[in-house]
Amino acid sequence: DGTAGEAPRTLSAAEPEKEKACRSFFVEVIHEGAGPLAGEWDRKRNLELPGDGTVGQARRTFGRPLRGRARAVGGIEQEVPDETPLWELSRQCRLELRFSAAPSQG
């Protein structure tokens, strides 16, 4: 799935062009750092973001601070930086992002 030196991708070589054409993305955002008593609203959001959206935009749109690392889920699970365009991670204009708990201070 990828040659040496390249980051693993969840898309085949022909699919990125289709994903770039998405006008919007449907993103399931899961906050894995929510406490055990947190309700579903504190843990998960289903967002619609614009075609030029990024992982960082999904983080900021969640509505609560998400300070942990982001991982794209599907195919190959991989850690992704905030500047990553959503089209690089999506399939059929949909994707799931999971944000881990914030690193502990101290």
CB 43 within 8 A of CB 30: yes
The pTM for the full model equals 0.79
Residue 2's pLDDT is what?
A: 42
In one-letter notation, the amino acid at residue 30 is: I
Residue 13's pLDDT is what?
A: 46
The string of DSSP letters for 3-70 reads: -TTSPP-SS-TTHHHHHHT-SEEEEEEEETTS-TT--HHHHEEEEEEETT-BHHHHHHHTSS---S-E
Q: What backbone torsions phi and psi does residue 47 show, to the nearest 5 degrees?
A: -115, 150
Residue 74's pLDDT is what?
A: 79
Residue 24's pLDDT is what?
A: 97
Give the chain's residues under pLDDT 70: 1-14, 104-106
Task: Give the C-alpha separation, 65 to 99, whole Å.
Answer: 10
Residue 77's pLDDT is what?
A: 84
Residue 104's pLDDT is what?
A: 58
Question: What would the pLDDT profile of 34-46 be if each residue is shown by its tens digit?
Answer: 877 878 878 999 9
CB 24 within 8 A of CB 50: yes
Residue 21's pLDDT is what?
A: 93
3-state secondary structure of 94: strand
